[in-house]
């Protein structure tokens, strides 16, 4: 009896694989794409094991749109960061999307690099030897001799003497700015300073930390922006600073330029393929109702030969129109009017609806490819920062991929490489 029950359980697990098994199979099918973009020190097997561990830790990821989850994994692989909660994280968010003409709430997986991961990428470039971030409180700016001094111009200067008194216990509302300092191997120091209003603008683009909704009404914020505002402020300024600093993805020694371009094309092809995959629905038994493991398609059966069609008779001549006008109403007048396209979208020449987000993403991609200097590209990155934070994951992934290729194209190579 016991052996019969065990065999029956094995048969059930084979017929109805669990969601973890389905995800493992999908990751194995994409191992080749992961290998093309992962750095040499991270194998595809290790990367897949880290993803499965993250999913088992946070079961809500299994309820996310599978396209967004795989896209988030691809973005982590492109950055060379493990989604282990330290270097990077994959976080589920409730997002409103238009499905079949109706707005519905769906769960999307969002890739989020952590401060440790950003610092790791920067230090792996071997051009930056140290980078750190800190916050400044308004009490440190008061008095005749402020404890924080920052000067811009031909000679940059940044000085900060934090208050270390035991009785000094500031609050999050006392934070007025955040800054980061990067030290290059040649001794040059690079600064990035963000004022409080700039940090708050980034916070308002967050789906959980925003204090106001799209209509400007107050809402209950939650998440790390509420619990750890100071740490999120440091992460924000380091993330902005990292866009102007060399990173490991810019100076990979064992990957040639054509390999990087091929990896970028593979990522874009994966994203295009993911658009056609159906969104899985989680059934009551914990399995995905509409998701199956890829199996070889059966060969189509030969179709019988069609019988020859009789020759069509020539059409009868149409009656001439009455100059006085029709005396009755045609049947075509009773046909329902054609559906008008949505007001906030456009329709291209093929009749496909193009959303505002898709139009913005296409503009950013075109402008990035047209950039000729790194200064123009950095301005474009700052301009696109807020829009990318509000875009769907599959669109922001495509823009980030093109931005990464443009940054590598415009970043000057080392003198040793040139020789």
Give the residue among 337, 319, 335 at the shortest CA–CA distance from 327: 319
What the block records as the tokens of 32 is 């080749």
Q: Nearest 5°: phi and psi at 367?
A: -70, -35
99: exposed, middle or buried (C-beta count within 10 Å: 0-12, 13-18, 19+)?
exposed
Rounded to an integer, what distance in angstroms lies between the CA atom of residue 117 and that of residue 114? 5
pLDDT > 90? residue 323: no
The band of 78, judged by pLDDT with boundaries at 50, 70 and 90, is confident
φ, ψ of residue 317 in degrees (nearest 5): -65, 140
Range of lowest pLDDT (155-164, 177-186, 269-278): 269-278
With a CB cutoff of 8 Å and minimum separation 6, the contacts of 93 are 107, 108, 109, 110, 207, 208
Higher pLDDT, 353 or 57: 57
Contact of 110 with 67, CB cutoff 8 Å: no
Our measurement of the distance from residue 5's CA atom to the centroid of its chain's CA atoms, rounded to an integer in Å, reads 45
Measuring CA to CA, how many Å separate 20 from each of 57, 58, 112, 329? 12, 12, 22, 62
Tell me the C-alpha distance between 149 and 177, whole Å: 12
pLDDT of residue 53: 93
For residues 230 and 175, is the Cβ–Cβ distance under 8 A?
A: yes
Residue 259 has pLDDT above 50, yes or no: no
102-113 and 148-151 strand pairing? unpaired
Helical axes 19-29 vs 44-57, angle rounded to 10°: 160
Q: What is the pLDDT of residues 109-137, one digit of tens each?
A: 989 888 888 888 888 888 899 999 999 99
- Whether the Cβ atoms of residue 140 and residue 163 lie closer than 8 Å to each other: yes
Residue 263 host element (H or E): helix 257-275
> Which pLDDT score is estimated for 396?
77
pLDDT at 285 over 60: no
Check pLDDT > 80 for residue 415.
no
Nearest to 41 by CA among 329, 254, 299: 254
Indicate the angle between helix axes 374-390 and 393-410, nearest 10 degrees. 170
Q: pLDDT category, 94, cuts 50, 70, 90?
A: confident
Paired residues of 110 in beta bridges: 91
- Residue 257 above 70 pLDDT? no
The tokens for 42 are: 């991270």
* Higher pLDDT pick, 78 / 255: 78
Would the CA dihedral through 349, 351, 355, 357 be positive or negative? negative
Token pair belonging to 242: 């990292």
pLDDT score of 224: 84
184 DSSP 8-state letter: E
Note whether 107 and 58 are within 8 A (CB): no
Q: What is the DSSP string of 98-139?
A: EETTEEEEEEEEEEEE-HHHHHHHHHHTSSEEEEEEEEEEGG
pLDDT score for 307: 55
Whether 39 has a pLDDT exceeding 80, the answer reads yes
pTM for the model stands at: 0.50
Residue 199 has a pLDDT of 95
Provide the mean pLDDT of the chain.
75
Highest mean pLDDT among 12-21, 163-172, 300-309: 163-172
Q: What's the token pair of residue 316?
A: 């009868």
Cα–Cα distance measured from residue 261 to residue 406, given in angstroms and rounded to the nearest whole number? 11
pLDDT score recorded for residue 273: 43
| C-alpha pair distances (Å), 303 with each of 195, 296, 299, 300, 306 | 70, 21, 12, 9, 9
Higher pLDDT, 44 or 301: 44
383: left (phi over 0), alpha (psi -120 to 50) or beta: alpha
Tokens of 164: 């270390």
Confidence at 265, pLDDT banded by 50, 70, 90? very low
Task: Give residue 48's pLDDT band: very low, low, confident or very high (50, 70, 90).
Answer: very high
- pLDDT-above-70 percentage for the chain: 69
Q: What is the predicted pLDDT for the residue at 390? A: 74
Average pLDDT over residues 140-147: 91
């Amino acid at each position: 009896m016991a052996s019969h029950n065990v065999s029956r359980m094995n048969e059930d697990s084979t017929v109805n694989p669990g969601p973890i098994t389905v995800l493992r199979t999908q990751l194995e099918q994409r191992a080749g794409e992961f290998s093309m973009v992962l750095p040499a020190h991270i194998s595809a097997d290790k990367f897949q094991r880290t993803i499965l561990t993250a999913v088992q830790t946070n079961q809500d990821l299994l309820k996310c749109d599978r396209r967004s989850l795989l896209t988030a994994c691809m973005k982590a692989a492109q950055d060379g960061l493990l989604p282990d909660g330290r270097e990077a994280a994959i976080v589920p968010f409730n997002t409103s999307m238009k499905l079949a003409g109706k707005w519905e709430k769906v769960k999307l997986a969002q890739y989020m690099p952590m401060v440790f991961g950003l610092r790791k990428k920067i230090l792996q470039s071997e051009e930056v030897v140290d980078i750190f971030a800190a916050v400044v409180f308004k009490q440190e700016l008061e008095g005749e001799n402020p404890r924080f001094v920052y000067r811009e111009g031909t000679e940059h200067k940044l000085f900060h003497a934090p208050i270390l008194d035991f009785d000094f216990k500031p609050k999050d509302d006392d934070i007025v700015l955040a800054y980061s300092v990067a030290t290059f191997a040649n001794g040059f120091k690079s600064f990035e300073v963000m004022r409080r209003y700039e940090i708050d603008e980034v916070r308002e683009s967050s789906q959980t930390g925003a204090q106001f909704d799209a209509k400007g009404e107050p809402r209950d914020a939650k998440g790390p922006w509420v619990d750890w505002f100071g740490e999120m402020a440091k992460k924000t300024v380091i993330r902005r600073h990292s866009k102007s600093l060399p990173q490991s993805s810019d100076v990979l020694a064992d990957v040639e330029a054509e390999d990087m371009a091929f990896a970028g094309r593979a990522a874009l092809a994966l994203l295009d393929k993911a658009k056609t995959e159906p969104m899985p629905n989680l059934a009551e038994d914990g399995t995905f109702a509409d998701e199956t493991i890829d199996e070889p398609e059966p060969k189509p059966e030969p179709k019988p030969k069609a019988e020859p069609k009789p020759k069509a008779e020539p059409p009868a001549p149409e009656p001439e129109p009455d100059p006085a006008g029709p005396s009755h109403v045609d049947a075509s007048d009773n046909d329902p009017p054609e559906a008008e396209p949505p007001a906030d979208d456009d329709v291209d020449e093929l009749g496909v609806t193009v959303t505002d987000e898709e139009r913005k993403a296409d503009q950013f991609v075109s402008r990035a490819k047209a950039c000729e200097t790194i200064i123009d590209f950095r301005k474009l990155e700052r301009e696109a920062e807020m829009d990318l934070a509000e875009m769907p994951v599959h669109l922001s992934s495509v823009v980030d991929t093109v931005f990464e290729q443009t940054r590598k194209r415009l970043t000057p190579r080392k003198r040793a490489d040139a020789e």
